[in-house]
Amino acid sequence: MALDLSRIIKAYDVRGLVPTELSREVARAIGAAFAAAVVLPDAGADARPGVVVGRDMRESGPELVDAFAEGLTAAGVDVTLIGLCSTDGLYFASGQMDLPGAMFTASHNPAEYNGIKLCRSGARPVGQETGLAQVRELAQGYLEHGIPDPAGDAGQVVERDLLADYAGFLRSLVDLSGARPLKVVVDAGNGMAGLTVPAVLGDAAGLPGLPLELVPLYFELDGSFPNHEANPLEPANLIDLQAAVVANEADLGLAFDGDADRCFVVDERGGAVSPSAVTALVGLAEVTKELAAGRAPTVIHNLITSRAVPDLLSAAGASVVRTRVGHSFIKAQMAQHGAVFGGEHSAHYYFRDFWFADTGMLAALHVLAALSSQDRTMSELAEMFEPYSGSGEINSTVADAAAATERVLHAYRAAYPEVVVDTLDGVTVSHWESHPQWWFNLRASNTEPLLRLNVEAADQDIMEKVRDDVLSLVREPAVPTEEEEAS
């Protein structure tokens, strides 16, 4: 019996255990389905269809890429293999070559996983509502009934190295040549930043040196992640970086996840800088550049980012648009509004000048440029963009997410009749227009019995009170039924 692909093809990408869920056979079927559902229809009748494919450092990558390419070429699609790259390196290739793309990575997942991130030409997203559902349906049929015989000539496979082009393109967007010298500790987590950081921030790609002293941590590409998980969103995975920044008396630290599309910042004291502060900082740089060029800038942020983001960027002259959590949603809003920049609480940063796609490396360049252009420390600079107190995301295991959410809504509507409630993504309850100022969002996980809580308030005490009150309601023990009491 064929694997149920709904287990591994989710809302935004493909991700599964190798080889029990994501095998050569599955990768080949997904390649053929991607060709049929996306690549061939987009190419038109006269164009020669092609796909660019990259991979991270996981051991299973080469075999899965080979099988995926077999599925594409059998359908008459040419394949350009760019080898080891970051996810934003694949987006660069898709944008620069104007081809659909596929990146083999499981991001920060453990070593036994792999996955595929798909995009249309120009790095346009392929999500559940923009082609991924059709890919899953076709691939499922191919697994159960076989891949159709090719209708014409098979596609060809070529290899191409784009690392230097990628590095040069990013350097062209942010000028660091005249910056004051900085000492920067970078934790690559044994992920793809070990390849891209020396190319972009160093001279490994043949670019001129920058006024940066790089202190590398875990730059060896190793998909078994021997030092720590490549997920800087978890505080435990920042400990080594924080200690190294202080020990080396560095100006700041940077951490990247496994496929190096997310960037996290640590200040000179070892304190983590919130992604919302980075969103505001980078957004301000992009807004200032747009205004100087006589353009009216728009910035996108998801609903979990700090209220400091819309407050500061609106005051700077930007139009600010709030959107759902998830890269496919924010990319769609970026394109729809022609936004110059977008940021998420998860440290994904999106740029119009990067085909509306996310790139942690470009965000890092902006942070370095902002710090080096003035005399403040990183902690002093970050403090300007972190005026409020946030809880971070807190997960609660619940048997009935809808019932727990309704419990919270009922209690808060009764206690605070003036609150504003919206349901853009989960429920957001806001008391921001009254005093004391606070808001929170509750979102149910799509894949686990979890409720995710984010709280922000104008001061720490209020944030902690709202956080604890909401959690007590969410985690309230269920009332036993009469049958359960009798037993």
Catalytic residues: 107
Cβ–Cβ under 8 Å, residues 223 and 106:
no
CA distance 385 to 286: 15
Contact 257, 272 (CB under 8 A): no
Per-residue DSSP letter, 181: P
Q: Output the DSSP codes for 114-146.
A: EEEEEEEGGGEE--IIIIIHHHHHHHHHHHHH-
**What distance in Å separates the CA atoms of residue 321 and residue 125, rounded to the nearest whole number?**
19
| CA distance linking residue 200 with residue 361, whole number of Å | 8
Are 161 and 89 a contacting pair, CB within 8 Å? no
Of the candidates 276, 337, 346, the residue with the CA atom closest to the CA atom of residue 308: 276
By CB atoms closer than 10 A (0-12, 13-18, 19+), residue 235 is exposed
CA angle 390, 394, 397 (to 5 degrees): 160
Tokens representing 86? 């970051």
Residue 175 has what DSSP assignment? Answer: -
Q: Cβ of 438: how many Cβ atoms within 10 Å?
A: 25
Alpha-carbon dihedral sign for residues 391, 397, 402, 408: negative
Q: Which residues contact 396 (CB under 8 A, 6 or more apart)?
A: 404, 450, 451, 453, 471, 474, 475
Give, in order, the Cα–Cα distances in Å from 402 to each of 105, 272, 471.
33, 33, 15
CA atoms within 13 A on the CB side of 336: 11
Determine the Cα–Cα distance for residues 424 and 130; give it in Å rounded to an integer.
19
At 438, is the secondary structure helix, strand, or coil?
Answer: strand
**Quick one: residue 294, left, alpha or beta (phi over 0 = left, psi -120 to 50 = alpha)?**
left
Closest CA to 454 of 398, 376, 380, 396: 396
Closest by alpha carbon to 83, among 62, 64, 106, 112? 62
Token pair for residue 351?
A: 């740029």
